[in-house]
Amino acid sequence: MMLKKTIFVLIAGFLIQTLISCGKCGPSSTLEMIHTELSLTTGAEVDNRFELIEDTVRKENFILEIYLNHEQVMFSENMKSFSFGFNSAQALDCPDPKYSYSDKVEELSIVMINQADTSQTIDVTSIFGSEFDSETYKLKDLIEMQYEQQSQFSLYLSLLEDDSLYNNTSFQVTITLESGQTFIQETEEIIFID
């Protein structure tokens, strides 16, 4: 008899906790994203997939991934919890966190460096972009879209034109944030083949 009462109390406590967790997720949290480092990856689009490249790639398949590493800092929340000594989980469809960037990308530039003569450089920012949903997007548009839709800053850029490229080249990417902080990174040598 005592065992049945104990089991009943435990089941009732579990059901109460389940109802509490399902009924109120609380406010969505806000995370501040702080850019810390620039990473570049070169690859090729093969069968609609991104594949890393060793050194050679066709110009029409070339992809440059620009990723800004970040730290997440959660803004404080004050949330009352009636948990009766239990830790309650958030269940069902709780709202996704919101992301806040206090120091956004102000400028992004891409310079091509001739590997045969490293003193020869050309600003090629304007020939990079992305194509999706049958539309072509330039860098400025892509940067704005990153902050509207993503929790991380990651661009997959292809060449919108390839007439002025050196055959043996590397790309140097410079990102300047609104605060003036600058990140600079250079790719390994890339050999373009026809």
Q: How far apart are CA 114 and CA 155, in angstroms?
A: 23
Domain contains 80: no
Is residue 32 classed exposed, middle or buried when 0-12, 13-18 and 19+ CB atoms within 10 A define those classes?
middle
Q: Which of 64-73, 85-94, 182-191 has the highest mean pLDDT?
A: 182-191
Q: Assign 193 to helix, strand or coil.
A: strand
Query: Mean pLDDT over residues 185-192, rounded?
Result: 93
Q: How many domains does the chain have?
A: 1
Residues 116, 190 contacting (CB under 8 angstroms): no
Tell me which residue range forms the domain holding 186.
28-75+94-193
Residues 40, 53 contacting (CB under 8 angstroms): no
Domain contains 20: no
pLDDT at residue 64, as a whole number? 94
Token readout for 131 is 């194509």
Instruction: Read off the pTM.
Output: 0.73
Query: Mean pLDDT over residues 22-31, rounded?
Result: 65
Q: Assign 173 to helix, strand or coil.
A: strand
Query: What CATH number is given to the structural domain containing 181?
Result: 2.60.40
